[in-house]
């Protein structure tokens, strides 16, 4: 079953798959016309042809718009072949005064530009590197399944083939934090310091409450991918819906402000099927069953990082404003909410035990999971303390 799913994802990640779906829909109606009574033949043939033509027209329109946009916005960095598919790396600035180069990874399965505000702040002070994970930005989708373990290996190969020299400061936010922790466990010799910006702890998914937000992420990835094949972007609709919640609107506005027009101008790069279907694949890890399937390859546990320097940066353990927004925290009364605060805080702090040289840096009061955007200047200050004083 998994092989069938991965083969399907490989097929659907090509935006031209919309044309194939249009042909299949037309064919199914033709078949139905021969199975059903004769008086339905003409109706089903006409309906199948109409639907097929509409889907094909929508698919062609999407392909034209995507091709036109990609031609107008060429990759600003280097396209690195890592084994039959390419990964985009944007590396700017020069190592100076003994400062280590820094590699940034955003949360979710986002492209490198989601950390561009931090990249901009340091490319004049050291070598700063953004990588588009496969299926994001200018990178190819690559083979399926998409997993954190596979992408940890791919990111190292991409850096090496691009000619980048470590040791690096690897800084990852949320799901990107889990990624850089996996890189550090596999290749500790490449790591100067590991900076975990409120990283995703897989224990929360296994032992915590079933979060509707994670299920929605997985569902949106599948539905969004199919819709995108025909030029319908579900992300824009989801944003509009989220903006009705003031706290979420505040985070989105903060991110858009700090990332700036340079990032907004290339946002349409994400309006393709591969961006969604690679998410659909890797987000399967974000369920109890998914974690169980990849745990040994993906979890970074106590003492796994030896004596590597590890900075854990995030909200105060009892003051994460984002947890209070979860519907699961608003159900079951205050006792349930307090338990969730304690649980999520404890699982985050477990990252401190991965190394004998760990350091905890507490974000400003009232900060939530997305403090890297809401408290961008503070985040830059923390990173400057590390990078510029090394």
Predicted local distance difference test score (pLDDT) of residue 318: 59
Structural tokens at position 373: 């955007």
The per-residue pLDDT for 39 is 63
**Integer Cα distance of 229 and 18 in angstroms:** 5
261 burial (CB, 10 Å; 0-12 / 13-18 / 19+) is exposed
Tell me, what's the pLDDT at 226? 95
Q: Nearest 5°: phi and psi at 358?
A: -100, 155
Side by side, the strands of the sheet bearing 357-362 are 78-81, 86-92, 128-131, 102-105, 168-173, 191-197, 309-314, 357-362
Distance CA 173, CA 179 (A): 9
Residue 152: both structure tokens together: 């940890």
The C-alpha atoms of residue 300 and residue 195 are separated, in whole angstroms, by: 14
pLDDT tens, N- to C-terminus, the chain (390 residues): 788 999 999 999 999 999 999 999 888 877 777 776 666 677 777 778 889 999 999 999 999 999 999 999 999 999 999 999 999 999 999 998 889 999 999 999 999 999 999 999 999 999 999 999 999 999 999 999 999 999 999 999 999 999 999 899 999 999 999 999 999 999 999 999 999 999 999 988 999 888 888 888 999 999 999 999 999 998 877 777 777 777 777 888 888 899 998 888 888 888 999 999 999 999 999 999 999 999 999 999 999 999 999 999 998 765 566 676 677 777 777 788 788 888 888 899 999 999 999 999 999 988 889 999 999 999 999 999 998 876
At residue 65, the pLDDT reads 95
Please give the Cα distance from 76 to 132 (Å, whole number): 12
Whether 56 and 19 have beta carbons less than 8 Å apart is answered as yes
Would you say how long the chain is, in residues? 390
Give the pLDDT of residue 321: 61
Q: What is the CATH number of domain 78-387?
A: 3.40.50.1820
Residue with tokens 């990624």: 179
Asked if 49 and 26 touch (Cβ cutoff 8 Å), the reply is yes
């Amino acid at each position: 079953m998994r092989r069938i799913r991965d083969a399907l994802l490989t097929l659907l990640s090509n935006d031209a798959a919309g044309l194939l779906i249009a042909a299949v829909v037309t064919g199914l109606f033709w078949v139905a016309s021969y199975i059903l009574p004769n008086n339905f033949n003409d109706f089903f043939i006409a309906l199948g042809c109409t639907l097929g033509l509409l889907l094909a027209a929508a698919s062609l329109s999407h392909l034209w718009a995507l091709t036109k946009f990609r031609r107008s916005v060429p990759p600003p960095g280097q396209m690195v072949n890592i084994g039959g598919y390419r990964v985009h790396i944007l590396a700017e600035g020069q190592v100076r005064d003994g400062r280590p180069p820094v590699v940034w990874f955003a949360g979710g399965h986002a492209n490198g530009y989601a950390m561009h505000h931090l990249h901009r702040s340091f490319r004049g002070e050291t070598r700063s590197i953004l990588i588009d994970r496969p299926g994001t930005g200018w990178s190819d989708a690559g083979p399926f399944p998409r997993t954190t373990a596979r992408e940890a290996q791919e990111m190292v190969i991409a850096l090496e083939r691009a000619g980048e020299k470590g040791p690096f400061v690897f800084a990852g936010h949320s799901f990107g934090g889990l990624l850089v922790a996996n890189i550090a466990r596999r290749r500790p010799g490449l790591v100067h310091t590991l900076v975990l910006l409120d990283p995703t702890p897989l224990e929360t998914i296994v032992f915590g409450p079933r979060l509707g937000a994670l299920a929605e992420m997985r569902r949106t990835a599948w539905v969004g991918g199919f819709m995108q094949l025909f030029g319908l972007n579900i992300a824009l609709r989801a944003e509009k819906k989220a903006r009705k919640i003031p706290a979420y609107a505040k985070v989105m506005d903060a991110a858009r402000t700090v990332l700036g027009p340079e990032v907004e101008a290339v946002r349409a790069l994400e309006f393709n099927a591969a961006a969604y279907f690679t998410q659909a694949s890797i987000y399967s890890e974000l369920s109890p069953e998914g974690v169980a399937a990849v745990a040994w390859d993906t979890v970074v546990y106590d003492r796994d990082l030896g004596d590597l320097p590890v900075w854990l940066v995030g909200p105060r353990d009892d003051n994460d404003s984002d947890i209070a927004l979860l519907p699961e925290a608003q159900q079951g009364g205050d006792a349930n909410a307090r338990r969730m605060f304690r649980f999520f805080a404890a699982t985050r702090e477990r990252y401190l035990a991965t190394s004998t040289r760990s350091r905890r840096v507490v974000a400003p009061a009232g900060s939530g999971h997305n403090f890297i955007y809401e408290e961008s200047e503070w985040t830059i200050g923390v990173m400057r303390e590390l990078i510029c004083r090394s």
